[in-house]
Structure 1
Amino acid sequence: MTPRSVLRAVLGQLPMAAAIGLALVVIAVLRGQHWPGVVAAIGTAGAVAGLPLIGAVHGPNPPSGYRLPGYRRPVPVPTGRWSQGISALIVMIMIFMILFLPGWLVFLGMLLAWLGLLINLVTAYLRRRGRPRHREVLHRAVAAYRPRFVIYTGRRNDASYQLAMWVPILERLQLPYLVALSFPEALASTRAITKAPIVLLPTGSDLDAIMVPGLRAAFYVNGIAENSTLVNYRNLTHIYLGHGDSDKELSVHPMHGMFDRVFVAGQAAIDRYGQAGVKIPASKFVIVGRPQTAGLRGAGRPIGEVDPPSVLYAPTWRGYNAHTTLSSLPVGPAVVDALLRRGVVVSFRPHPFSWLGARERSEISAIDDLLRRDRDDSGRPHRTAAEHRNTPVAEEIDFSDALVTDIGSVLVDYFATGKPYAVVLPPGQSPTTARTDLPSTAAAYLISYDTLIGGPDQSVEQVLDELLVKDPLAGRRPAVARHYLGEQPGDDRPFLDAVRRVIGHPEPAR
């Protein structure tokens, strides 16, 4: 807390407080309130202007734990959105009092608002001074719990699908563990996918709270820069898991070199780093297969014998920038229209991040509408995105006989099924160089993005004929699957054994 931060907090609230004060004064005058009511209106505006001081005095939230045995969370101090809510409540109460109560009671209400502000300011100051004590209380509770590893993400938004990809696999170790978060925004979605204790550590020094004897490893499900805060603790072995293998640019980020181990599904991932010029010592790579693909249903018979076939359409999200713009969702209606005209059953599964943007939600809705109309007309049991948003992707893969997707991890996971797949190439990508530029398309049927603009052309029909009838690339798929997923793609033993070697824990008796 600095004088500048305090001043900034008050000045930021001042315009709204002035407008509230003016409105309350006008109401008081119109209601015939005398000086107590008018002074109360002005005083209320002052209290509203002072509410942001609570957050400035309080600073970041203290570290806290959830579902951690023997730990009791501190009572929260109203900051941020809570302050805005309190402002609205104070104003509504004062309007009611000005309208229906005498001036001296309105004045008393204003004094009570100021008293509440002062109490919260004192509480916020004491909470700030007591931060080290809160950290020590959390540290003792974590030490008593005795976790062997931690799953960490510094991501602010909902990336629960990334955690959900690994939590069930890591729980097969049957060892106590923690999930550590930096931002409270990620808390609700994380609590929905694990019953393990969760610790919220808003600042870098709060990570001290989980540094306890017996903690051996930290796992990372994404490669965001905020992860480096925990990587600085060299008493742990830091393991990058990622959230799926693909030819996406972020799959070979130079930042992955900061981890002690980089767990990959197969040799293709290791080769990709070298091809991108990202130098990571070979000793850091560990091939562990792709345990998430265990139990996926393979092709029961050639695709040409399935009538009607079920096709999973799974476009990726729009990405961060021009280099990661790989999504076919903007031309998704053309993809789905081409599939519907062939009489197939369509299951639509957009990337979880596509639900976060207004434009992407509109595109999802347009495709869902297409599927609902055809379902009503034809009776084919199409699966819309909205109706199956929470369905595990493995179930969607099992439902399908073929896949149409973009460059991404769904494509690589689908390799484990042996079923045919088509890839909508990124905008501007030539099909003639795609298999060189994007090696994961080595056994894919290729759809040019440009051929879908304005509706699918005849070349798309030819690709779908190969995908759903002829399947001339069937013989290539096994070798591609081994290169990307290893020799045992659905076996969790290589992964679990690699983790046990790191944390020094033997396999439990069976």
Structure 2
Amino acid sequence: MTFRWLCGVLRVRGKTDLLLVFLFAAGFAALPVFALLPSLWGFAAASAVTYAVDEVLHTRAPAFVRRLAALQLTRTMRFAVRTVMLLALAERMGAPEAVLVAALAVFSVHFGMVIMYTAVHHAIRRRRTLSVVVRNLDMSGAGIQQSPPALLYRRFLRKLLHLDVPAHAGLLAALAAGAWQSAGIGFALTAGLAVAAVAALLGQLRRARRMPPDAEVIAELNRQLAGYRPEVALYFSFASVSRDFMYQVNMWIETLEQLDRRPLIILRERASFRYLGRTSIPVVCVPKADDVAQLELPELRVVLYPGNAGKNVHMLRVAEAKHVFIGHGDSDKLASSNRVSKVYDEIWVAGRAGRDRYQRVRHAISDSAIVEVGRPQLSSIRLHADHVPGPVPTVLYAPTWEGWSDDDCHTSLIPMGVPLVEKLLAENVRVLYKPHPLTGKRSRVAAEADRAVRELLRADNERRDARDAQEAEAAIAAARPRLAEIQARLGELSGRLTGDDAQQVRDARIPVRDGEAEWHELRAEWHRLFWQSRGPVRHQVILKQLPTLYECFDQADVLVSDVSSVVADFVASLKPYVLTNANDLPDEDFRAAYTTAGGAYLLDRACTRLPEILDSVRAPGRDPMAPERRVLKEYVLGPDRPTSMERFNTAVNVLAEKATAEQAERLGEGEVQRVVVGA
């Protein structure tokens, strides 16, 4: 418990990171001690430790570094402390006054250049911040200037502060030798390099001043959109861009690419591009509402909204288009039958269950506004009949997050997550743990439970691998280079561009479709290699985009989850699943309240039913909820024929034609009015 508490407080992930934090703290604590003793070699060793560990922590434990910054122990402050301690050491060891004055002057110049460089860098960034970010449209005609060289522009503070190393090393060498030439060389290198860096960046500032104004960039974007003539737009905004919320968009990309009509993706937060998946669809990010109004989309007929957000109103103003809430999965949460949905022309749900859900707000939502379109994303999910079990049952535990308020809190992590996983481990099953991306965002208790579950799985892996630990680690290590190579190539094929926003817009081009087959082959190879290297019995904590949720579905024999869209999607597999009943409602009441509970095994808060449930799904032919799941699948997700993709495409076409007809009618009425007024 103390270990987990320490990791939570310090924002580190494990023993190695915790050891690095202790080394970091010990190194800085030792600096004043060795400076005052004085001990040259002790100081040199402590200084080297602080330099090295500081860099490693930036890579391994960025959350700890951010915690230091919140306590005003920024990187710049840490460098300043090291410099002050060095000057104290030099004074205690009797360095000549001239050397001390020169050292103070050089370090002052160095920090002055750091301040000036930072100011110039910020000026360049402001000039290179465009009103739009674009992908998959040819923006070469916008006249955007080339980004400054990465050496000068990226991670500049880290590089610039480290220019003090020659001065530090030179002064330490001079103190050791008792001759001061090395100090002079080090001082000259530090001051000269700092001044040269500022001069080089000032040259880049001159180029940044030639950046085109926002009006010209938007004009070029509108010219490109006029050539593409988008008819359908997926519009997405979400306030929490610090987490991967783009799954709400990514799940719809392949569906959009198969439409008969030309699609466009409109995003509102710049950070969204970080998580956007591969697509050949033009993507436009427009952070400001005023700039959204500048987009010229005369042929746009249907706008699709995967989420309810305040910024949706900036697009809802487009009267020529029909506006549709498609959501990001059907669930029994209140968000899936929200009164806010009344602002849309239509609400598209997967099946009859979604339509019935909106009866909760029957006075707000008209039944005629609801269209059943299925879930096109689920076509690739492997059915229960095609699943090959492993040597031990695989349980996918995918709890939802704690919600924006206690009224919307459905997560099982807080009341029962830790005992649930402990009892799963006692049942000798393999656990795949995939928490919601926002887990712990609002609740510290949820974050602590999440860390505790991860630690339980890590410890049980160590116990299971006690005999074959070296072999298991060797398999993972052997697969790691190829996995990294595949991910790098997937990044290239995804259309993700390097550089700042302006550079990405400058480099944006219309994509070629040649890499589509390679993309799917590499994704399949990545998943195959990942699961093979992990083996059939090791627990896995799944936090990144790969492996995907649906790949985890294919690996699992049974799902344990909360009231969420994950359950509705899992129903497509016809595999057994368990819903957590953390409030211990009577079974009849729970099934009446939540549609997806109709085909579920219900798990009480104390998890006393868990062994019985696992026995039911382990033995062939015993699974008593199988008939209920078959009925529920069609109720929740709609019929198998016509396919979801066909129904979704038809719904888009019908609504687009309706919007076109209404616009023609309005134009006709306007022409009649003009004739009457003219007469």
**TM-score strictly above 0.5:** yes
Number of aligned positions between the proteins: 479
Greater alpha carbon shift after TM alignment, 169-178 vs 196-205: 169-178
Q: 1:461 to 1:333 in 2, by over 3 A?
A: same
Q: 1:232 to 1:248 in 2, by over 3 A?
A: same
Q: 1:43 to 1:164 in 2, by over 3 A?
A: closer
Q: Which residue of 2 aligns with 1:4?
A: none
Equivalent position to 1:395, from 543, 551, 558: 551
Q: 1:420 to 1:125 in 2, by over 3 A?
A: same
What is the SS of the residue equivalent to 1:390?
A: coil
Q: Work out whether residues 372 and 384 of structure 1, in 8 Å CA contact, stay in contact via their aligned partners in 2.
A: no
Equivalent position to 1:487, from 639, 645, 652: 639
Q: Which residue of 1 aligns with 2:305?
A: 220
**What displacement does 1:485 show?**
1.6
Q: 1:302 to 1:465 in 2, by over 3 A?
A: farther
Q: Work out whether residues 303 and 322 of structure 2, in 8 Å CA contact, stay in contact via their aligned partners in 1.
A: yes
Q: Which residue of 1 aligns with 2:580?
A: 424
Q: Work out whether residues 329 and 360 of structure 1, in 8 Å CA contact, stay in contact via their aligned partners in 2.
A: yes
Alignment of 1:462-481 (within 5 A): 462-469=612-619, 470-481=622-633
Distance in 2 separating the partners of 1:35 and 1:292? 64
Q: Which residue of 1 aligns with 2:214?
A: 131
Structure 1 position 362 matched with structure 2 position 464:
no
Structure 1 position 162 matched with structure 2 position 248:
yes
Q: 1:106 to 1:297 in 2, by over 3 A?
A: closer
**1:162 counterpart letter in structure 2:** Q
Equivalent position to 2:601, from 429, 438, 445: 445
Structure 1 position 460 matched with structure 2 position 610:
yes
**1:400 counterpart letter in structure 2:** A
Q: Work out whether residues 166 and 190 of structure 2, in 8 Å CA contact, stay in contact via their aligned partners in 1.
A: no
Distance in 2 separating the partners of 1:309 and 1:36? 68
Distance in 1 separating the partners of 2:435 and 2:292? 35
Q: Which residue of 1 aligns with 2:412?
A: 328
Q: Which residue of 2 aligns with 1:186?
A: 272
Structure 1 position 315 matched with structure 2 position 399:
yes
Distance in 1 separating the partners of 2:75 and 2:452? 37
**What displacement does 1:132 show?**
0.9
What is the SS of the residue equivalent to 2:336?
A: helix
Q: Work out whether residues 349 and 389 of structure 1, in 8 Å CA contact, stay in contact via their aligned partners in 2.
A: no
Q: Which residue of 2 aligns with 1:503?
A: 656
**1:409 counterpart letter in structure 2:** S
Q: Which residue of 1 aligns with 2:541?
A: 385
RMSD after superposition: 4.5
**1:461 counterpart letter in structure 2:** P
Q: Work out whether residues 57 and 125 of structure 1, in 8 Å CA contact, stay in contact via their aligned partners in 2.
A: no
Structure 1 position 233 matched with structure 2 position 389:
no
Distance in 2 separating the partners of 1:347 and 1:36? 58
Equivalent position to 1:372, from 453, 456, 461: 461
**What displacement does 1:264 show?**
0.5
Q: Which residue of 1 aligns with 2:35?
A: none
Equivalent position to 1:247, from 319, 329, 332: 332
Distance in 2 separating the partners of 1:467 and 1:225? 44
Q: Work out whether residues 392 and 537 of structure 2, in 8 Å CA contact, stay in contact via their aligned partners in 1.
A: no
Q: Which residue of 2 aligns with 1:3?
A: none
**What displacement does 1:327 show?**
2.0
Alignment of 1:164-313 (within 5 A): 164-173=250-259, 175-190=261-276, 192-208=277-293, 210-276=295-361, 279-300=364-385, 309-313=393-397
Q: Work out whether residues 20 and 45 of structure 1, in 8 Å CA contact, stay in contact via their aligned partners in 2.
A: no
Greater alpha carbon shift after TM alignment, 53-62 vs 475-484: 53-62
Q: 1:492 to 1:102 in 2, by over 3 A?
A: closer
Q: Work out whether residues 36 and 103 of structure 1, in 8 Å CA contact, stay in contact via their aligned partners in 2.
A: no
Distance in 2 separating the partners of 1:59 and 1:260? 39
Q: 1:86 to 1:471 in 2, by over 3 A?
A: closer
What is the SS of the residue equivalent to 1:477?
A: helix
**1:177 counterpart letter in structure 2:** P
**What displacement does 1:248 show?**
1.5
Q: 1:376 to 1:355 in 2, by over 3 A?
A: farther
What is the SS of the residue equivalent to 1:338?
A: helix
**1:403 counterpart letter in structure 2:** L
More helix per residue: 1 or 2? 2
Q: Which residue of 1 aligns with 2:18?
A: none
**What displacement does 1:265 show?**
0.7
Distance in 1 separating the partners of 2:136 and 2:440? 29
What is the SS of the residue equivalent to 2:547?
A: coil
Q: Which has the larger radius of gyration?
A: 2
**What displacement does 1:135 show?**
1.0
The one-character-per-residue Cα deviations of 1:422-472 (angstroms, maximum 9, x if unpaired) are 1112457554531233232123221122x1xxxx44x43334444555433
Q: Work out whether residues 418 and 453 of structure 2, in 8 Å CA contact, stay in contact via their aligned partners in 1.
A: no
Greater alpha carbon shift after TM alignment, 95-104 vs 63-72: 95-104
Distance in 2 separating the partners of 1:296 and 1:22? 56
| TM-score, normalised relative to structure 2 | 0.59
**What displacement does 1:111 show?**
9.6
**1:249 counterpart letter in structure 2:** L
What is the SS of the residue equivalent to 2:599?
A: coil
**What displacement does 1:246 show?**
0.5
What is the SS of the residue equivalent to 1:294?
A: helix
Distance in 2 separating the partners of 1:19 and 1:393? 42
The one-character-per-residue Cα deviations of 1:242-295 (angstroms, maximum 9, x if unpaired) are 111111222223332222221101222222233156712333211111222225
Q: 1:429 to 1:193 in 2, by over 3 A?
A: farther
Q: 1:42 to 1:375 in 2, by over 3 A?
A: closer
Distance in 2 separating the partners of 1:277 and 1:186? 35
Distance in 1 separating the partners of 2:362 and 2:337? 9
Distance in 1 separating the partners of 2:429 and 2:450? 24
Structure 2 stretches of 5 or more lacking a match?
Answer: 1-71, 88-96, 168-182, 468-534, 659-679
Equivalent position to 2:235, from 144, 152, 174: 152
Q: Work out whether residues 260 and 649 of structure 2, in 8 Å CA contact, stay in contact via their aligned partners in 1.
A: no
The one-character-per-residue Cα deviations of 1:59-106 (angstroms, maximum 9, x if unpaired) are 96321312313546734889xxx9994455555547868964788995
Q: Work out whether residues 305 and 327 of structure 2, in 8 Å CA contact, stay in contact via their aligned partners in 1.
A: yes
Distance in 2 separating the partners of 1:109 and 1:340? 57
Q: Work out whether residues 103 and 187 of structure 2, in 8 Å CA contact, stay in contact via their aligned partners in 1.
A: no
**What displacement does 1:377 show?**
7.4
Q: 1:346 to 1:47 in 2, by over 3 A?
A: closer
**What displacement does 1:116 show?**
4.8
Distance in 1 separating the partners of 2:428 and 2:196? 72
Q: Which residue of 1 aligns with 2:226?
A: 143
Q: Work out whether residues 57 and 124 of structure 1, in 8 Å CA contact, stay in contact via their aligned partners in 2.
A: no
Structure 1 position 433 matched with structure 2 position 589:
yes
**What displacement does 1:404 show?**
1.8
Q: 1:349 to 1:33 in 2, by over 3 A?
A: closer
Q: 1:441 to 1:102 in 2, by over 3 A?
A: closer
Alignment of 1:20-59 (within 5 A): 31-33=100-102, 40=109, 44=113, 47=116, 50=119, 54=123, 58=127
Q: 1:354 to 1:174 in 2, by over 3 A?
A: farther
